[in-house]
Amino acid sequence: MSGTSADGVDVAIADIGPRGVEVVAFGTVAYPAALRRQIFRLFRPETARIDDLCHLNVVLGEVFAGALLRVCRTSGVRLDSIDLIGSHGQTVYHIPEGRRWGRRRVRSTLQIGEPCVIAERTGIATVADFRPRDVAAGGEGAPLVPYVDYLLFADTRRSRAVQNIGGIANVTHLPAGGGIADVVAFDTGPGNMVIDRVAHRVTRGRRAYDAGGRLAARGRVSETLLAELMRHPYLARRPPKSTGRETFGTPWADAVYDRARRGRIAPRDILATVTALTAESIAEAYRRHLGGGIDEVILCGGGARNRTLVNRLQARVAPAKVLRTDDFGLDADAKEAVSFAVLAYETMRGRPGNVPAATGARRPVILGKIVPGGSY
């Protein structure tokens, strides 16, 4: 899969069965710089072109298939040992609030990376395009990982918040001893997306992200700017809710940076402040919507490796213990890709993979579209 940061393809090869999930191999294949620029043009209506959308849908199918083949080669996993591929694709647009169509509002979401190409290049049955079925059932199409979070991390004694910090940050709350109907999940707000863009601006394009949060650690948080950013209307919305680049993408991050510079806030202080925004918006979401009483916060995604971000989050959610999925034997970077492998597995067994309480769907539905492979 490739997330909202759109920096490359995460490939997880997993052994899934009645006894659980074991990650056999994991690797990330970075997008070439030129391809990444093309993808980013699709994110903005003013730069997106329908011919580019058509072209990149197939190109990304080739890239995704190539990424799997590469990870198989480097890990020594035989391609013919893989029974099924689950591909999230690359989200290019997400309209969870819907748009008017006749007398009603219609929600929509679009992921590209043609699964027919993946199945053809690999010979393996491929499940893809998971989100539209939830949208068709009245949901927002996101978040979809709560079902997998429940399978992997639910506990009879501990109340847990599984917190992904990708481009967008999203939480799954698993109350102690609760069932799937008790799960609460939603996008908390920006994750790495704004941090990455501001890091790019601060370093004048030399860095695409703030590795380990080291640049932010050298700055000071502007409490005035942080308070202003925390008044963003999305953060006050009640779940179910989801968001994306349409709300917190490059235009918004650039506007924040430019406004702060006009206010004479130093570049590294701006980076420190948007890093604090991610931590504060996560902690505030817990207070507003989860009612407290969380024993453990389990981090995954690239933001789990941003020490400055994690330290601030730790302080804001105390006395809850902050862990990473690595502490449970699951690489924090691999967790999202593993989740879509599990969702593909559930689809092939005819089992629903969404959580209506998280997405707003009317009912549980079987997710995705199946493209047969040679072994189907």
Domains along the chain?
Answer: 8-141+334-371 (3.30.420.40), 146-328 (3.30.420.40)
Could you report the per-residue pLDDT of 262-307, keeping only the tens digit for each?
999 999 999 999 999 999 999 999 999 998 789 999 999 999 999 9
**pLDDT of res. 94:** 96
Residue 131, pLDDT above cutoff 80: yes
The three-state (H, E, C) secondary structure of the chain, written as one string: CECCCCCEEEEEEEEEECCEEEEEEEEEEECCHHHHHHHHHHCCCCCCCHHHHHHHHHHHHHHHHHHHHHHHHHHCCCHHHCCCEEECCEEEEEEEEEEEECCEEEEEEEEECCHHHHHHHHCCCEEECCHHHHHHCCCCCCCCCHHHHHHHHCCCCCCEEEEEECCEEEEEEECCCCCHHHCEEEEEEECCHHHHHHHHHHCCCCCCCCHHHHHHHCCCCCHHHHHHHCCCHHHHCCCCCCCCHHHHCHHHHHHHHHHHHHCCCCHHHHHHHHHHHHHHHHHHHHHHHHCCCCCEEEEECHHHHCHHHHHHHHHHHCCCEEEEHHHHCCCCCCHHHHHHHHHHHHHHCCCCCCCHHHHCCCCCCCCCEEECCCCC
For residue 166, the model assigns a pLDDT of 95
**Full-model pTM:** 0.93
Tens-place pLDDT, residues 203-219? 999 999 999 999 999 99
